[in-house]
Structure 1
Amino acid sequence: MSDITRFTSNRSSLSFSFEYTIRYYLQRLHLRAQLAFISLQAMPRYPLRFNQVPPLFCEPYILRGFRSIHQPWSYYFKSLFHKHNETMNVWSHLIGILYMIHLFFYYNTRLNFFENAHSWPFAVSLCTAIIMFICSAFAHLFHSKSENVHMTCFLIDYIGVSLHGFGSGFLHIYYSAPQWFYEKIEYQYVFVLLILGVLACFLNCFAQYYYHRPYPPIKRICQFFPCGVLWLYSIAPLCIRLYTSNIFSNPALICHLAQIILFLVGATFFGFDVPQRFCPGLLDFVGQGHHLFHVCVYLVSVCQMHGVYWDYEEFQSIIDQRSKPELIFCAGSMFSLIAWDFVIVCFFRRRIHKTYHLD
């Protein structure tokens, strides 16, 4: 009887302690968030409004926080630590770079990239994700220097978009596709993926060159359509897998479903200029659609890498029985896409320079 009393007493004290601890940590979290918000509001900010910069640098429903043009390169680098309407875009992808590099070394200890040929598609996809984040962070940090730099930066950004779509599909077909689908379409799938990657880069660069501000809706269609086709093709192995499986019984499948939903949510924010469409000027520094899209892309990459790794763990015996992928095929396909994208960017950069007489 005394043991039961003691147990009841201990359980009630443990419950109280647990509730107190949770309440304490929630209070601390709230305080830190409040301090971070206050610090963000107090950060030095760039005060230029949309009517004080050339139209090329303006975005719909964004009214404040623009940086001056034709400043030294150091001005734009230092803006990394100040508040402007691109700060979130830059930092979300700088964090992505660091996390993908961390994952590269983390998964190397488990997959042994340098000796395990079956891990090479994983290494290639991590490299394409890192390049995508680098291109995006670079573009959003430095594009305000001049009209010429602005156009060039976002042409480079499209290289990252093209590579990320290719790397995602390469990852999905090798590790997450059902075996019958992999055997039926492996090399053809990668070849089509390569073509779609080149097409996405080309059409995005063409839209950047051909259309002028204020951009007509056809510009976004020209950019989003090839990217959407590339994305749909890259997730085709995941869709087949999700359709034929019990999703909530497997953490890898939950990650795959999450990355699809997150990408659709982010693309909706970006494509329809929400939520800033409903409150122009209120979300200039934090919370505009482009910011939310960047955060979603980062979370998509995180879900993708962890989900695919869990697939590899589950199907390792099947994957190891396949013919080993050749390094020239894995790395060569990535470098060939980079080469084609680089040629496209150089071509359109020259056309832009001649057409707009940019310095």
Structure 2
Amino acid sequence: MLDTTRLGNYFRMSPFSFECNIPNYFQPLHLRVQSAFISLQNMSRYPLKYYQIPPLFAEPYIINGFRSIHQPWPYYWKSLFHKHNETINVWSHLLGILYMGYLLVYYYRKLNFYENPHSWPFAVSLCTAIIMFMCSAFAHLLHSKSESVHMTCFLVDFLGVSLHGFGSGFIQIYYSAPEWFYEKIEYQYITVLLLFGILACFLNCFAQYHFHRPYPPLKRFCQFFPCGLLWIYSITPLCIRLYSSNISSNPALMCHLAQIILFVIGATLFGLDLPQRLCPGALDFIGQGHHLFHLCIYFVTVCQMHGVYWDYEEFQSIIDQRRKPELIFCAGSMLFLVACDFVIVYMFRRKIHKNHHLD
């Protein structure tokens, strides 16, 4: 049977009686959500349309809500508190920063990062998640400043994606992999994970620099292929566990399955420009595929952290018998990836700056 005790520590259940009239219960909620949705879509704080901005800033099937370019910096910082077609993208990941920061403090108290070396991979992954959310949030907030700033912001965003993919694989091999798999592949797994992280950053930066609108399909291939490779490799330990275990009786495995499903859904919506492809202009401010992708990534990370912690609780006696991870290995591997990605971003940033300066 499913043990709901630990689930209850994280998700408070609202009392609900099936004796109540269900339609009457949900109708007011539906009306409030519908009213808020319509109100948000009709606001016009940033009323520029796609044909009023340079093609670089336009997104497929998004018609309204673009910000002006070449405005003073306060214009973009203040836009954090106004409605435009990037508001959801920014706030979804700002909330991610706050929640991951909360988890960092929460799990520090539970795992004692300072004195428990076996908790260091967990601390590393939380840090990479915070960096990823920071890079993404500020990229979406500030990228409309100019063409050069736009491209630079998303180069930094790719650094965050690369780092988070590495951090995800790092904790999943250490806490969630079957012991036979961990013993067989431990350090080789981390090495390959680093290489895939560097490849993801490089090819995404290359695609951002090399291709111009209208983007050919090859651009998305250069972006999705290395990220997909990094993701698939990072969830390999989870897939092995899921294949050989009874999922319904284990909250950790349910979290792992949920994060895989959520990622596939989010990536599909983002990659196929759904649902805005079906109704251009109707979902500019809330509900477009990029918004849903960001929300999926947030919940993927939440499921990942809780699921991995529950794995650590379950297998702590086994994990504690392993050779203690070295601080230089845990923090050093993360810093090495940051350094490599920074060099890649800096190299392409110089190329972009040179091209725009010459133009």
Identify whether the pair has TM-score above 0.5, normalized to the shorter chain: yes
- Unpaired runs of 5+ residues, structure 1, are 1-14
8 Å Cα contact 1:44-1:82 kept in structure 2: no
Distance 1:20 1:227, change over 3 A: same
2:248 is equivalent to residue 248 of structure 1? yes
Matched residues in 2 for 1:96 and 1:22: separation?
33
| Corresponding residue for residue 336 of structure 1 | 336
Distance 1:192 1:17, change over 3 A: closer
| Corresponding residue for residue 66 of structure 1 | 66
8 Å Cα contact 2:61-2:281 kept in structure 1: yes
Matched residues in 2 for 1:237 and 1:356: separation?
44
| Corresponding residue for residue 11 of structure 1 | none
Matched residues in 2 for 1:16 and 1:198: separation?
49
The alpha-carbon deviation at position 40 of structure 1 amounts to 2.7
Three-state SS of the structure 2 residue aligned to 1:350 is helix
Count of matched residue positions in the alignment of Structure 1 and Structure 2: 345
The alpha-carbon deviation at position 44 of structure 1 amounts to 5.0
> What amino acid is the match of 2:232?
L
The alpha-carbon deviation at position 95 of structure 1 amounts to 0.7
8 Å Cα contact 1:147-1:358 kept in structure 2: no
The alpha-carbon deviation at position 238 of structure 1 amounts to 0.4
| Corresponding residue for residue 86 of structure 1 | 86
Matched residues in 1 for 2:305 and 2:217: separation?
34
1:113-132 matched pairs, under 5 angstroms: 113-132=113-132
The alpha-carbon deviation at position 320 of structure 1 amounts to 0.5
Residues 250-259 or 348-357, more deviating: 348-357
Output the TM-score relative to the length of structure 1.
0.92
Matched residues in 2 for 1:358 and 1:202: separation?
24
Matched residues in 1 for 2:23 and 2:209: separation?
55
The alpha-carbon deviation at position 356 of structure 1 amounts to 3.4
Matched residues in 2 for 1:298 and 1:258: separation?
12
Three-state SS of the structure 1 residue aligned to 2:149 is helix
Distance 1:16 1:132, change over 3 A: closer
> What amino acid is the match of 1:128?
T
1:183-222 matched pairs, under 5 angstroms: 183-222=183-222
Matched residues in 2 for 1:329 and 1:86: separation?
38
Aligned-pair identity (%): 78
The alpha-carbon deviation at position 32 of structure 1 amounts to 4.8
| Corresponding residue for residue 230 of structure 1 | 230
| Corresponding residue for residue 160 of structure 1 | 160
Three-state SS of the structure 2 residue aligned to 1:315 is helix
2:313 is equivalent to residue 313 of structure 1? yes
| Corresponding residue for residue 107 of structure 2 | 107
The alpha-carbon deviation at position 45 of structure 1 amounts to 2.1
Matched residues in 1 for 2:292 and 2:41: separation?
19
Residues 141-150 or 26-35, more deviating: 26-35
| Corresponding residue for residue 50 of structure 1 | 50
> What amino acid is the match of 1:95?
L
Matched residues in 1 for 2:145 and 2:101: separation?
28
Three-state SS of the structure 2 residue aligned to 1:283 is coil
The alpha-carbon deviation at position 17 of structure 1 amounts to 7.7
| Corresponding residue for residue 9 of structure 1 | none
> What amino acid is the match of 1:249?
S
Three-state SS of the structure 2 residue aligned to 1:357 is helix
Matched residues in 1 for 2:273 and 2:250: separation?
35
> What amino acid is the match of 2:268?
T
8 Å Cα contact 2:44-2:65 kept in structure 1: no
Root-mean-square deviation (Å): 2.0
Matched residues in 1 for 2:358 and 2:65: separation?
24
> What amino acid is the match of 1:279?
C
| Corresponding residue for residue 8 of structure 2 | none
| Corresponding residue for residue 4 of structure 2 | none
> Could you report, residue by residue, the CA deviation over 1:225-267 in whole angstroms, capped at 9, with x for unpaired residues?
0001000000000011111111111110011011001000000
The alpha-carbon deviation at position 36 of structure 1 amounts to 3.6
Matched residues in 1 for 2:30 and 2:225: separation?
41
The alpha-carbon deviation at position 30 of structure 1 amounts to 4.2
> Could you report, residue by residue, the CA deviation over 1:58-113 in whole angstroms, capped at 9, with x for unpaired residues?
01111111000001111111111111110110011011111111111111111111
Matched residues in 1 for 2:335 and 2:183: separation?
25
8 Å Cα contact 2:41-2:284 kept in structure 1: no
8 Å Cα contact 1:85-1:284 kept in structure 2: yes
> What amino acid is the match of 1:122?
F
> What amino acid is the match of 1:150?
H
The alpha-carbon deviation at position 31 of structure 1 amounts to 5.8
Matched residues in 1 for 2:17 and 2:214: separation?
59
8 Å Cα contact 2:263-2:300 kept in structure 1: yes
The alpha-carbon deviation at position 18 of structure 1 amounts to 7.2
The alpha-carbon deviation at position 358 of structure 1 amounts to 7.0
2:149 is equivalent to residue 149 of structure 1? yes
8 Å Cα contact 1:168-1:234 kept in structure 2: yes
Distance 1:16 1:222, change over 3 A: closer
Distance 1:109 1:22, change over 3 A: farther
- Unpaired runs of 5+ residues, structure 2, are 1-14
> What amino acid is the match of 1:325?
P
The alpha-carbon deviation at position 281 of structure 1 amounts to 0.8
> What amino acid is the match of 1:140?
H
Matched residues in 2 for 1:173 and 1:25: separation?
44
